[in-house]
A = this chain, B = another copy of it.
Amino acid sequence: MKPIETLKNELSEIADLKGAVNVLYWDMETYMPKGGTAARAKQVAMLEAIVHERFIGEDVSNPLGELVNLDSGEIINGLDEETSRLVNEIWRDYHRAVALPKEFVEELSHTSSMAHPNWVEAREKNDFNLFAPHLEKLIALKHREIGYLDTQDTPYDTLLDEFEPGFTTANINVLFGELKTALVPMIKKIQESGVNTKQEILHQYYDADKQWEFSEMILKDIGYDFHCGRQDKAVHPFTIEFHPTDVRVTTRINEHNLLDCLTGSIHEGGHALYEQGLDQKWYGTPFCQAISYGIHESQSRLWENLVGLSKPFWEYYFPKLQTAFPENLSAVALEDFYRAVNTIKPGFIRVDADEMTYNLHIMLRFEIEQLIINEGADVASLPELWNDKMEEYLGIRPETDTLGVLQDVHWSHGSFGYFPTYALGNLYNIIMFNKAKEKLPDLDNQIRSGNFLELRNWLKSNIHQLGRRQTAKEMIKSISGEDVTAKPFINYLKKKYSKIYSI
């Protein structure tokens, strides 16, 4: 067999193992009883170590070494362009993995599995001290990880590189600077506009089961395949894949906030369409993997915001929502509902934030993560630091840590460097959506009639099926002909919200 075929076979088996580990993670955050925590932490740590050992083992390094210089990453002559690209991406993963000792991989996995339920409890009980010692351990492990990996501009950049390859803190600072300059005055104008978007419409009592049904209907409509997936509940919604034929979403329900479940489902549905849309004939290889976390977020946020908060979307779904909740909505006008779901208002919780202030939530996390990783900010100081930044960016100060530093799951997973990808997703997705609209001039009408097929197919052909054939930067350039900037997103926000708020 050719080395590339041997390699693909081995990678396919490793992917099966990774999928198996993901079943354990999924269960951990959906159904696992609390008593199972310690055993589960050992189980996932062992399996992560097995996956790691296998990926850096001879069955990968031997065939890979025939295709690329394992130390330098230089491709050996004679490979066609596609294979070169594939090998380059495999090597990038290999190079990163081989730098990490097995014991480290095991310890990081174990520590984050033990941290997660303590984060859940800390959040529930509004007691940061329950989570703090775990967070300290995770930060120490992240410093060790940085030590193992190739040096980037800053320690934080080394972590960032895992989530958004090719992006540095400097790059992101430029984009976020652009964004902040536009957003802050825009939000100020909105706050001063005196327009009331009747947000209270969303905060009546909405029965949990009916919300659930509605969210599953929308998931089906946008093309999420329940034959190869399912939706469950989780404290913090997430999507996870065991294989392209088993991609699961989660959401959460708040009977006094209609948007929690709906936007959670649509967001995760967007992630899931990406995973379900990957090209299975490359299973196990980078060509059957998402480009980056930012591109992943572009998919979730495209469906959540650009589709799910649009007028055509609600022209189709609002009458159905009225039927499901007649007591709450039969007297509400579509226009009022549309404005309510598009209320711009600084709030404490990132995942509940509107499209505009959302980005400020990301910026404050981005700053805090740099302080933690580059400047050694003390864990004990984080609640205060968080609240200060919140006041600086959003003009409000959380009264509890549950509404502040404890709100997000990411750090309990040891994920530092993930947050900026959410805002990048916002910048990417409008670039993609603008191109899709150009290619599908009838798109608004299609959405207006609950038909998402052509949009989904466009995303599938132009993004999902390509896997990691391009970097995020290359993909955006190939779609729009331009480098990533915040302009298209700013223009989108201006156009949409100048109407809603008459500014």
Contacts and interface: CB of A to CB of B under 8 A. Distances in A.
| Total copies of this chain within the assembly | 2
Interface residues of A, number: 35
A228 B36 contact: yes
Contacts of A32: 246
Interface stretch (A16-24, A120-128, A437-445, A460-468): A16-24
B33 A246 contact: yes
Contact of A230 (B23, B33, B44, B225): B33
A487 interface: no
B243 A36 contact: yes
A39 B228 CA distance: 11
Given A39-B246, A40-B242, A242-B40, A46 B33 contact: no
Interface string A1-43: 0000000000001001101100110110001111110111011
B228 A33 contact: yes
A227 interface: yes
A400 interface: no
A245 interface: yes
A70 to B, nearest CB: 26
A29 B404 CA distance: 39
Interface in A278-333: none
B232 A36 contact: no
A32 B242 CA distance: 10
A19 B226 CA distance: 27
Given A27-B27, A33-B229, A243 B19 contact: no
A50 interface: yes
A321 to B, nearest CB: 25
A47 interface: yes
Nearest to A47: B20
B33 A227 contact: yes
A36 B225 contact: no
Given A16-B39, A36-B228, 16 more contacts: A13-B46, A16-B42, A16-B46, A17-B47, A19-B39, A20-B20, A20-B46, A27-B27, A31-B230, A32-B246, A33-B226, A35-B245, A38-B245, A39-B245, A40-B242, A43-B242
9 contacts: A16-B39, A16-B42, A17-B47, A26-B27, A32-B246, A33-B228, A36-B246, A39-B242, A50-B50
